[in-house]
Amino acid sequence: MNARTRREFLRTSAVAGAAVALGGGCALRCGSVRQHGAAAPGLDSVPSYLAAYATVYAQNPRVAALQWFREAKFGLFLHYGLYSLLKDHEWVQYRRRIPVAEYAKLKDQFTAEKFDADFITDLALAAGMRYVNITTRHHDSFCLFTTKQTDFNSLNSPARRDLVGELAVACRQKGLGLCLYYSHGRDWRHPHAPNNDSWGGSARPRYDPPEPAYAYGREHDLQKYLDFMSAQITELLTQYGPVAAIWLDGIAVPKSGDPAKFKCRELYDLIRRLQPQVLISYKQGLLGTEDFVAPEHRAIPRAGDKPMEICSTLQEGSWGYSEKARHLTADEAWAKLVAARAAGANLLLNTGPLPDGSIHPAHVAVLREMGRRIRTEGWPPGHA
């Protein structure tokens, strides 16, 4: 099977899987969705990424997942979306104060023609990685997955593809854990997402004049946004088979006001009910009940022996692709892995795919070199 044929297989499998999950009318083992209740398709057997932990999984799926995560050491982060087309950081809408309607026009240019889940997962394996994390929906609210909650998604663009679904198929085939980034605290499109009046100045771009797409004053209803997120996370956990982690972002926003208004306890309960093995992270930790902490760039103190994952990027100062950013050398990237291992943490190393979805050649070379060093020199010393 050549590379193009394999890509088409992954795409077809992803679309079929999402169609089954959203179609209804079949048994749970086929992946049907019950509102806030059904398990994901494929959970009647041990997930492929947990195959080595089958005995523990049979007794307690979450314990098996935690053991796997502690031993995983290394993962690949992907920041990809409409912002990639502008080649100027994932916060480009916020920084340039691009109006919502103007930014939305980028959807008509999104082709993802060279996004190749098969290549990405092969690259992760070559680098010695055990899991992949993709931005299913960043702060701009553009979704890379099948969703009934909004038409602002990759299937409703020229790409006509479910990129999360394609990656899920490739990860499952190769025994990689699939982690799903989801922007929780910030949304620069939804009318009822957190606003600057109640949640601090970084919640939304400071538009002048005010953005007409947003709800204001008494019309603003945060619960509508919370319902939107719960519905989307339900879709992510019922359409793509076993998920290794839900990775939430935007913690500065709930921390700037009353975090209880975000009802994260209910959200965490929903996630664990849908998939008992799935791990939850919300950066440094919002409630303290998250399964692991995920600080940026460096280790932080943590209570007890809770696992830690340090996320960092191969583009200096940017997670989404930026043509202005300097790319790290192999030695610099290796130093990040050394530091993470010394801290007893995993390293989640990010690449921002180019506008067409391909991985920057400099990042491909660095990741392959890291894998070569792991195979020839072994893992850097640290906690197991």
Domains of the chain, by residue range, sit at: 3-377
Distance (Å, rounded) from C-alpha 244 to C-alpha 169? 13
- Output the six-digit token pair for 111: 């082709």
Q: What is the pLDDT of residue 28?
A: 25
User: What percent of the chain lies above the pLDDT cut of 90?
Assistant: 84
Q: What is the largest CA-CA distance in the chain?
A: 62
* Global pTM value: 0.91
Q: What is the pLDDT of residue 243?
A: 98
Residues 91-135 have pLDDT tens digits of 999 999 999 999 999 999 999 999 999 999 999 999 999 999 999
Q: What is the pLDDT of residue 202?
A: 85
Cβ partners under 8 Å of residue 310, min gap 6: 294, 295, 296, 297, 298, 299, 336, 339, 340, 343, 345, 346, 347, 348
Residues 314-367 have pLDDT tens digits of 999 999 999 999 999 999 999 999 999 999 999 999 999 999 999 999 999 999
Compare 32 and 334 and report the one with higher pLDDT: 334
Residues 151-167 have pLDDT tens digits of 999 999 999 999 999 99
Q: What is the pLDDT of residue 383?
A: 60
Distance (Å, rounded) from C-alpha 40 to C-alpha 47? 11
Torsion of CA 351, 50, 18, 356, to 10 degrees: 10
Distance (Å, rounded) from C-alpha 352 to C-alpha 181? 14
Distance (Å, rounded) from C-alpha 279 to C-alpha 68? 11
Q: Are 272 and 234 in contact (CB under 8 A)?
A: no
Per-residue pLDDT for 33 more than 60? no
User: Which residues lie across from 293 on neighbouring strands?
Assistant: 308
User: If DSSP states are collapsed to H, E and C, what string results for the chain?
Assistant: CCHHHHHHHHHHHHHHHHHHHHHCCCCHHHCCCCCCCCCCCCCCCCCHHHHHHHHHHHHCHHHHHHHHHHHHCEEEEECCCCHHHHCECCCHHHHHCCCHHHHHHHHHHCCCCCCCHHHHHHHHHHCCCCEEEEEEECCCCCECCCCCCCCCEHHHCCCCCCHHHHHHHHHHHHCCEEEEEEECCCCCCCCCCCCHHHHCCCCCCCCCCCCCCCCCHHHCCHHHHHHHHHHHHHHHHHHCCCCCEEEEECCHHHHHCCHHHHCHHHHHHHHHHHCCCCEEEECCCCCCCCCCECCECCCCCCCCCCCEEEEEECECCCCCCECCCCECCHHHHHHHHHHHHHCCCEEEEEECCCCCCCCCHHHHHHHHHHHHHHHHHCCCCCCC
Of the candidate CATH numbers 3.50.40.10, 3.40.718.10, 3.20.20.80, 3.90.1300.10, the domain formed by 3-377 belongs to: 3.20.20.80
Nearest of 49, 238, 55 to residue 130 by alpha carbon: 49
Q: What is the pLDDT of residue 305?
A: 87
